[in-house]
Structure formats: structure tokens, C-alpha cells
Copies of this chain bind each other. A is one copy, B any other.
């Protein structure tokens, strides 16, 4: 079995840390597993620590009294979540739920804060992580307030293509990493609307879909839709 230290050193938040700090972290990190659909933490609850996702997939979400939900972020292996909450004195800003069986490390708040004051590198990484999160949230706000569903979907598909292939080009294809219902909640809509919008992109010739596999056909069109051209 891989030692904890070797796992931790691959996490972005801990990159560049010296061996001593990594060993300290390895001592502090507590393995925790969650089954599919388990709630990892609830929005508003006091944040006593944060998580490092090693295996599986987690959604960070807000939900309304009448059952609607909005997905703030999908967490993938190697990423951390709940970090920001241990800095603020408020509780977790959202609810975390396991989308698959998950394997995590848990880092208690007090230990982490202690290490944070001792290690400038860690503090710097933390700042970088948080500014990335801020950037991400800012863009989501822009999308929700200024763009319609078709634009948000087109942008999502382009981002995904870029992430998978490093470029955007007609003919490239990829799978959706989450179910369409979840994707709808992530785009701030519902599955019915997503289904119709995806259908419209297909009938316009922007994309094709086969067995959950999306292929980009007309990237110029897709980019125009993402920018907000009426379709």
C-alpha cells in the first residue's frame, strides 16, 4: 500500500511542501470512506475540518426548501473540498454528497491551521486554491445572471473538450463525466430543459451524440452560442 505521504504530495494544495511538513500532514490525515449518496457534511454545520478526495466523486450543492438543487462544484480525485470553511468562522457554505463510493482523507481544522501558520508554502498554496475557486464562482455567477441555458451548455461542452483533448476542434468527442440530471443542476436548470437544449444543439448541427458520447461538429457555431448569440 502506498504510504500516506506519497499520496499527499500529489495533491495540489500540498505541492512544494518539505518532507517534514508532509510527514506531519500524513500523521494528521484520517482516512474516511463514504458510500454513494452519503452526506459528507451539511450546509451550515460547523466546519471542524476539510477533506481530500482520493477516489470517487463528490458534489457540493445548495438545495431549496421545495426540493430544487444547484450544484456549485463537482469534486474529482486529487482535489480538496471544505477548505475555505475552516478559515472562515461560519459553517460549511454548502452540502457535500458522495456521488459514488468515496475514499477521502480528513484533516481536522486545528491541526491544519497550526500547520498553516508554520508553513508559508502551504499558506501560499491555500491562497492560490482559493483564488481559483473565486475565479470559478465569479464565472458561474456571470453565466447564471447574463446567459441563457443554451450558452451555458455550449460553454460547458467547450470547456470539457478543452480539458480532455487540450484543444477545441470539430470531430473531437468525449463522454459526459456526470449524469445529465446532475449536469442540469450544475448548469442551473432542470433535466427536461437540458434535454431539449441538447436536442436543439444537435438539430443545429453543432454536436452529435451517440450512447452518451458527445462529438463536436461545428465549433464556431458552438462558440457563438457560448458567447450568447441567439439561436
A-side interface residues toward B, CB under 8 Å?
Answer: 62-66, 68-70, 72, 84-85, 87-88, 90, 93-94, 116-117, 120, 123-124, 126-128, 130-135, 137-142, 144-147, 188, 227-228
Closest CB in chain B relative to A116 CB, distance in Å:
8
Cβ-neighbour of A141 out of B63, B87, B123, B137 (below 8 A): B137
Chain B residues whose C-beta falls within 8 Å of the C-beta of A72 in the assembled complex: 138, 141
Find out whether the CB atom of B141 lies under 8 angstroms from the CB atom of A134.
Answer: no
Contact of A84 with B135 at beta-carbon distance under 8 Å, contacts A126-B127, A146-B68 already known? yes
The CA of A72 and the CA of B146, in the complex, are separated in Å by 12
> Could you name 16 residue pairs across A and B whose Cβ atoms are closer than 8 Å?
A64-B147, A64-B228, A68-B146, A70-B142, A72-B138, A84-B134, A88-B131, A88-B132, A93-B138, A94-B138, A116-B124, A120-B123, A123-B127, A134-B134, A144-B145, A144-B188
Chain B residues whose C-beta falls within 8 Å of the C-beta of A188 in the assembled complex: 144-145
Chain B residues whose C-beta falls within 8 Å of the C-beta of A126 in the assembled complex: 127
Find out whether the CB atom of A227 lies under 8 angstroms from the CB atom of B124.
Answer: no
Question: Knowing that A90-B135, A126-B127, A127-B127 are A-B contacts, what are 17 other residue pairs whose CB atoms are under 8 Å apart, sorted by A's residue number?
Answer: A62-B145, A64-B147, A65-B227, A66-B228, A84-B131, A87-B130, A93-B134, A116-B124, A120-B120, A123-B123, A130-B131, A130-B134, A137-B141, A140-B141, A141-B144, A144-B145, A144-B188
Closest CB in chain B relative to A119 CB, distance in Å:
10
Cβ-neighbour of A133 out of B65, B120, B128, B134 (below 8 A): B134
Chain B residues whose C-beta falls within 8 Å of the C-beta of A145 in the assembled complex: 62, 70, 144, 188
CB nearest to A187 among chain B residues: B145
Chain B residues whose C-beta falls within 8 Å of the C-beta of A120 in the assembled complex: 117, 120, 123
